[in-house]
Amino acid sequence: MDASFRSRRSLTLCLQINTVRLKADFKASGEFVNSLSTRSSKSGIGCFRMRRMPHLTVSEVAQQVGIRPSAIRYYERIGVLLPAQRISGQRRYDNTVLHRLAVIQWARQTGFTLDEIRQLFFGFRDNTPASKRWRNLSRQKLAELASQLERIKTMQHLLRRMTRCCRCETLDECGKGIFSKAVSSVAAKPLAKVHPEAGQETRVE
């Protein structure tokens, strides 16, 4: 009976020790997983619960996106891309960089400058939806493009007029004609005269 009791007690102690070890291992594993969870990105576009191991080189990223590696380094330098992790001194990226670069390339194709793209990522509160960011910046860009369109139409008109009307032999002759028309145009406009006593402008014909 004593030997049987000692055997059962030894087995119980072993089970208790193993249970404690398992709990400790599980706790350590949980701490490790928690240490890998990422904070929400300042860009407000995308949030990932688990950090992906960076494995893509800058050349591999550039090849998949269709840009030069130097462009990726430049985007990092000016703050449009977040700094890459370094492994043995070399840049390493996870797949999320491909999504961010896709947004950057799309924005550039639609006419946004790099400063405006930086504003797209970092110029809003962290919880601002991507749709609202696009709407706000797109309205500004559309107004800018409308103004540019008016200037383009004016330039097209002047170019067509020059193509149709110019008969000059030399550029000096062209300059003389352009200057004369400019002077005539200014002279044809009424001059503004300010009355000192009233401080108001009137037109003098």
Per-residue pLDDT reduced to its tens digit, 39-79? 334 444 443 334 455 689 999 999 999 999 999 999 999 98
Residue 163 has pLDDT above 70, yes or no: yes
**C-alpha pair distances (Å), 20 with each of 25, 27, 159:** 9, 11, 86
Tokens of 85: 């992790």
Fold of 58-130: Multidrug-efflux Transporter Regulator; Chain: A; Domain 2 (1.10.1660)
Per-residue pLDDT reduced to its tens digit, 112-139? 999 999 999 999 999 999 999 999 999 9
Domain borders along the chain are 1-36, 58-130, 166-205
Q: Which residues contact 101 (CB under 8 A, 6 or more apart)?
A: 61, 65, 67, 72, 75, 81
**Phi, psi (rounded to 5 degrees) for 153:** -60, -40
Closest alpha carbon to 84 in 57, 59, 62: 57
Higher pLDDT, residue 186 or 113: 113
Residue 7 has pLDDT above 60, yes or no: no
